[in-house]
Structure 1
């Protein structure tokens, strides 16, 4: 028997799917957006950009910007009772209104 692949994007068929009309929405403004420390951001994964992508279990979570590391940001979230730090590029972040 062949063992099934369990890659980084397994079981994400619907979660990491882009809408048909949103394909041109990957603008340069999403890549160059900046955040300040202690800003609240939503983690919304853009499936067309693989670099700096968080694990799909964090899609839809809200966190706080802790620091900047290179082009990416360190986002602190609570996963259950445990505080976690994620390194995410700005294409996958959205400012909370």
Structure 2
């Protein structure tokens, strides 16, 4: 995000992410591993306008910013939850 905020070149769309597809269930399972409380997950039936799958193309960020992810989704969630937990206990 820091590299993108300092970019001053031609207008382009920059996707910042892992470049890998993860399901909502994947994310829920990772969050569950680092959560102090069990997650209550409820799935509703998909709607006609829901996107069934999505994976952002991060190649522009690599090309324009020389950026690539260095933290996995699981590591990022673990770090985020650790920080959030530290703030909750203060």
> Shorter-normalised TM-score: what interval?
under 0.3
Q: Which has the higher strand share?
A: 1
Q: Pick the structure with greater CA Rg.
A: 2
Structure with greater helix share of residues: 2
Structure having greater relative contact order (Cα 8 Å, sep ≥ 6): 2
Q: What's the TM-score once normalised by structure 1's chain length?
A: 0.21
Q: What TM-score do you get using the length of structure 2 for normalisation? A: 0.23
